Homo-oligomer: A and B are copies of this chain.
Amino acid sequence: MSRTPAHDAPRRLHLNVNILHSGFVPSAWRLEHADPHAFVDVGHYVRVAQIAEAGKLDAVFLADNAAIVDQIDFRPITALEPTVLLASIAAGTTHIGVIGTASTSYNEPYNIARRFATLDHVSRGRAGWNVVTTADLASARNFGRDAVPDHAERYARAAEFTEVVKALWDSWEDDAFVGDKEGGRFVDVAKVHPVAHRGRYFSVQGPLNLPRSPQGYPVLVQAGGSADGRDLAARYAEAVFSASQSFEESAAYRRDLNTRAAAYGRHGGVKVLAGLTTIIGATEADALRRRDELVDRIPWRYSLNRLAGTLGIDADRLKLDAPLPEDLALPGGGNGNHTFFHATIAQARRHGYTVRELIRSLAGGTGHRVVVGTPEQVADDIEHWFNGGAADGFNLMPDALPDGLGDFVDGVVPILQKRGLFRTEYEGTTLREHFGLARPDNAQWWRKSA
C-alpha cells in the first residue's frame, strides 16, 4: 500500500502557498512597500518561503509557463524556471515542501524524471511535481508548433509521459545502492532495471541515472478541471489544485475525483487543495478597503483583456456595466483552460454580476475564489470548507507578497491551530509526511517483464 487510508487517521488540513511573484492581484507590485523587481529576485521567493515555513505550511508551489501569457506591460509574470528556483528555496528552508510545475507537452520524460528526482535529493525529500499540459499558442510556437495540440492529444501524451516518469523513478530498487568500500561494490546492477518503454509518444530505454529519491518519488500533483484532466488526476495525482467558486461545486468536484480514483483502484483519497486568494484586514472594512485599493490600481484595459482571454472572446464584447455575453463557449474547440473558463462564468452567473462587479470580485484574477475579511472570517471560511468536505486544504494565493502571506501566517494560522485544525509543529521532514502520504514502495514492474 502506498497510501494511508483516510479512515486510519483524522483528516488533516493542508495549506500551500502559491508564490505568484508579487502576489495574486495584478497590481500587487504597485503597493508602497512592494519591490517591482521581486518577480526575478531569488531573495523575495526565499523570504516568502521562510514566512510560510514559520507558519508550518505544507509546501510552496510554483506555477509555470513556457511563454509570455499575460500582459507584461501591466504586471509581473511567471518568469524564473521552477525547478531551479525551488532548489534555491530548498536551500533557504528546512521543512517546507517545494512543488514545481512542469509541462508534459514540451519536455521529455527522462529529463523531467531526472530534474524532479534531483530536486527531491537536494531538498532531502521535499519535492513535488505539478503535472500540466500546455494549451496556449504562444508556448506551442516556442517549441516548433504552429498550433496547439488538441485537448485529447495533450492528455494522452500527459498520461504516457507520467507513466514513463514513474517507471524511471522506480527503475532502481531501494537497496540497489550498496556502497561497500571493502568489497569494492558500489551498486548492485541486478537491482537497476531498464524501463524499455515503447509507446505512442515516447520510447525510453532507461534506467534513470540516479538512485531512488528520499521520498521514493516526488509527490505527484495535478490541476486539471476538464474530464480528461480529472481522469489524469484520478490515475496519478496524490494532491490536486482546484479552482471552485462555491462550496457545493468544490464538494462535488472532490466526490467526483475520488470516485474516479477509486475506479483506478486508488482508495486512499486524492487531496483536494482549493485555490484561495485572501485579502486580510484587521476589520472587515479594512480588508474591503485593501481590496478596493488593489483593484483600483489595475487598469481596466488589463482586466478586460484578461477576462476576454479566459472566455475566448474579443475584449470589445465585454461592457463594464452589462452582464457577460450569453453565448460563451470554451475557446478553441475545447482547448481553453476548462477550470478558469467555467469557474469565472459560474461566479458571474451566481451573483448576477456585471462585468465590472465580476472583475472586482475576482480581484483582477480569473476563476480563483477570493475571500476578503478579518483573520477570523478567513479561518471560518477555511474551517467550513474543510469540515464540510469541500476541500482537504488550500493552495493559498495571497493578494500581495510577502505581506499578504505574513498577515495569513500571523493572523489566520494561530486561529486554525487553536481550533485544532492545523499543525503547530512539523511532524516530519518530507512533503509526503506533511501530506500524510506513505513513502511508496518500488512498483516492481520489472518482475512482470522478468
A-side residues, CB < 8 A to B, are 27, 29-30, 34, 36-37, 40-42, 65-69, 72-81, 83-85, 87-88, 90-92, 106-108, 110-111, 114-115, 118-119, 121-122, 124, 138, 141-146, 177, 179, 181, 184-189, 192, 202-207, 209-211, 297, 299
Contacts and interface: CB of A to CB of B under 8 A. Distances in A.
Contacts of A206: 142
A437 to B, nearest CB: 22
15 contacts: A29-B181, A30-B181, A40-B211, A41-B121, A42-B122, A67-B209, A73-B188, A74-B185, A80-B210, A83-B83, A88-B122, A106-B110, A107-B108, A146-B203, A184-B297
A299 B185 CA distance: 10
A107 B111 contact: yes
B85 A118 contact: yes
A114 B139 CA distance: 13
Nearest to A45: B122
B210 A66 contact: no
Given A68-B209, A122-B88, A81 B114 contact: yes
Nearest to A182: B30
A209 B66 contact: yes
A75 B186 contact: yes
Contacts of A187: 72-73
Contact of A73 (B81, B121, B185): B185
A114 B103 CA distance: 14
B144 A203 contact: yes
A281 B121 CA distance: 34
A385 to B, nearest CB: 33
Contacts of A179: 29, 36-37
A85 B121 CA distance: 9
A364 to B, nearest CB: 12
A92 to B, nearest CB: 6
A256 to B, nearest CB: 34
A340 to B, nearest CB: 19
A109 to B, nearest CB: 9
A82 to B, nearest CB: 9
Contact of A78 (B75, B83, B138, B209): B209
Nearest to A176: B72
B142 A85 contact: no
Given A37-B179, A40-B121, A72-B192, A115 B84 contact: yes
B91 A186 contact: no
